[in-house]
């Protein structure tokens, strides 16, 4: 599964269905081939599509804080 294809596709569908979404950017991976970096494309597009791009650490800290 490539973040710049599959994850983005699901994100776009959720946006079209009216959801506000967030993504954990460093928990995805994308294909990299000579001259093309799918991960760089995905990270850019995640920021344009989602309401928030979390790092794994940031989400973990946010969830811990919400339990207090």
Domain containing residue 40 = 3-66
Percent of the chain with pLDDT over 70: 99
- What is the distance between the alpha carbons of residues 50 and 19, in angstroms, rounded to a whole number? 10
- Domain total in the chain: 1
> What are 8-35's pLDDT values in tens digits?
999 999 999 999 999 999 999 998 899 9
- What is the distance between the alpha carbons of residues 68 and 66, in angstroms, rounded to a whole number? 6
Cα distance between the two ends of the chain: 35
- What is the distance between the alpha carbons of residues 35 and 6, in angstroms, rounded to a whole number? 20
The pTM is what?
A: 0.83
């Amino acid at each position: 599964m490539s973040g710049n294809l599959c994850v983005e596709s699901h994100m776009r569908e959720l946006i079209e269905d009216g959801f506000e979404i967030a993504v954990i950017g460093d928990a995805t991976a994308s294909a990299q081939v000579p001259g093309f970096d799918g991960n760089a494309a995905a990270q850019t597009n995640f920021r344009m599509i989602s309401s928030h791009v979390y790092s794994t650490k940031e989400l973990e800290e946010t969830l811990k804080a919400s339990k207090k």
